[in-house]
């Protein structure tokens, strides 16, 4: 037999007044408070209107809600479940937080970005965010087009973006960001700038690069800093701003006539095979079998601009362009290559410098994390672990670990 009606929609709510659903917020917000999050927001962010009051409390609520897995305004109600009110003060309703965000203007976003930079510096003094920064750090700069839907949204314009490999015009805002990382540390956002949706990728990139380098230095990046960018930021102003701050640059170059001529001048004996992502290890030859090779040549960029010429290394990677009709018996008469060139003053040797530049893709993952909201799944994992630890066997193991560590877990 079967039912002739569908099951009623259910809604789960954590409403036990004696329990806390997200106790992990206590150390997170305690660290944020010690780093001065509320004071920095109160000192820099000043939204107008009745809904713009108390930004230091409302911004902290938004941060806590996102850390608890909220990815929408309605989800901010997670801060009012159970016994949250006994742990935190100043919690606001989701509707109040939404009204507060809608009161922000273009300038208020810049104020919040300044508070975020200073908060990152204070946080780096209290937590090991960037281990190894005293030796080598990377700053990756890129932009992202974010779709918006409000007809009165300030700055909303049509701009180009790529969706599933296709270039489309999307009405939205354009965000420019710089993230700092090290070879052993995950990236953190050091500087952002919200721009109109029709802004060119390199608009404001020179000043943002200078600001990001200063923030990275204040966060403890006292060693070599390499700023990595794609071809949209290949211009004299951006590279000049980086060099003036005692940092190195590594930028993809467009394949124009002078670049092609420089590549054509590279001799065949100058190419070095590299371990490419799809390379195969040959046990007999004891070498990586790959169609990727790299070479370098000295190159002078922006020679036509008076006083702005830069002479550095042009690192070229070439990848075999396979004949798509080879399976039909139409073999190639000579090998064809696809070239990818990088202009850099990196102090590292050829293969290492080329590998470092490919690491620029980490900024794309940061954008994916921002837009997709992976923290929304974080508390599901934490809750599952907490439920597992409530099992009698796990409680005995936890007690044993607590005795060995000398403190409760």
Confidence (pLDDT) at 394: 39
Quick one: what percent of the chain has pLDDT higher than 70?
83
Count CA atoms within 13 Å of residue 81 on its CB side.
17
For residues 308 and 236, is the Cβ–Cβ distance under 8 A? yes
Average pLDDT, integer, range 127-136 = 93
For residues 237 and 206, is the Cβ–Cβ distance under 8 A? yes
Detail the DSSP E strand segments found in 148-279: 157-163, 166-182, 185-196, 224-229, 248-252, 272-273
Confidence (pLDDT) at 377: 45
Closest alpha carbon to 387 in 10, 19, 18: 19
Distance CA 362, CA 153 (A): 30
Residue 306: other Cβ atoms inside 10 A: 7
Check pLDDT > 90 for residue 338. Answer: no
Confidence (pLDDT) at 256: 92
Distance CA 308, CA 301 (A): 9
Average pLDDT, integer, range 175-195 = 93
Check pLDDT > 50 for residue 5. Answer: yes
Confidence (pLDDT) at 285: 60
Q: What proportions of the chain, in percent to the nearest 5, are helix, strand and coil?
A: 40, 25, 35
Distance CA 405, CA 154 (A): 54
Distance CA 125, CA 123 (A): 5
Token couple for 253: 């170059």
Question: Per-residue DSSP letters for 324-341?
Answer: TTGGGT---SS--EEEEE
Count CA atoms within 13 Å of residue 29 on its CB side.
25
Q: Is residue 147 very low, low, confident or very high in pLDDT (cuts 50, 70, 90)?
A: confident
Average pLDDT, integer, range 380-398 = 36
DSSP class of residue 192 equals: E
**Pairing mode, strands 280-282 and 292-301:** unpaired
């Amino acid at each position: 037999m079967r039912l002739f009606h569908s099951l009623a929609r259910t809604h789960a709510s954590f409403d036990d007044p004696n329990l806390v659903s997200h106790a992990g917020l206590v150390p997170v917000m305690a660290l944020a408070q010690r780093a001065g999050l509320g004071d920095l927001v109160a000192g820099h962010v000043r939204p107008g209107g009745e809904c713009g009051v108390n930004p230091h409390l409302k911004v902290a609520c938004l941060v806590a809600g996102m850390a608890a897995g909220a990815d929408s305004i309605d989800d901010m109600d997670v801060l009012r479940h159970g016994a949250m009110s006994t742990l935190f003060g100043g919690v606001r309703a989701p509707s109040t937080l939404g009204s507060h965000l809608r009161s922000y203007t273009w300038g208020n976003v810049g104020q919040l970005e300044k508070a975020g930079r200073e908060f990152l510096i204070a946080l780096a003094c209290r937590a090991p965010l960037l281990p190894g920064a005293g030796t080598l750090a990377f700053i990756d700069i890129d932009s992202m087009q974010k779709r918006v839907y409000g007809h009165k949204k300030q700055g909303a314009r049509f701009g180009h973006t790529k969706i599933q490999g296709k270039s489309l015009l999307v009405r939205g805002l354009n965000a420019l960001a710089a993230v700092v990382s090290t070879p052993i540390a995950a990236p953190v956002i050091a500087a952002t700038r919200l721009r109109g949706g029709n802004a060119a990728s390199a608009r404001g990139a020179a000043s943002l690069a200078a600001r990001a380098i200063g923030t990275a230095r204040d966060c403890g990046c006292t060693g070599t800093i390499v700023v990595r960018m794609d071809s949209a930021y290949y211009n004299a102003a951006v590279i000049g701003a980086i060099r003036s701050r005692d940092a190195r640059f590594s930028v993809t170059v467009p394949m124009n006539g002078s670049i092609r001529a420089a590549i054509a001048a590279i001799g065949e004996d100058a190419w070095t095979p590299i371990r490419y992502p799809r390379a195969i290890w040959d046990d007999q030859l004891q070498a990586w079998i790959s169609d990727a090779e790299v070479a370098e040549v000295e190159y002078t960029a922006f020679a036509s601009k008076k006083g702005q010429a830069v002479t550095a290394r042009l690192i070229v990677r070439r990848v075999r362009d396979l004949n798509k009709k080879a399976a039909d018996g139409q073999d190639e008469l000579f090998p064809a290559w696809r070239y990818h060139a990088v202009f850099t003053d990196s102090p590292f040797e050829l293969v290492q410098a080329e590998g470092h530049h490919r690491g620029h893709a980490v900024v794309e993952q940061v954008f994916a994390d921002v837009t997709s909201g992976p923290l929304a799944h974080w508390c599901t994992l934490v809750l599952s672990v907490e439920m597992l630890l409530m099992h009698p066997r796990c409680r005995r193991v936890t007690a044993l670990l607590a005795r060995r560590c000398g403190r409760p877990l």
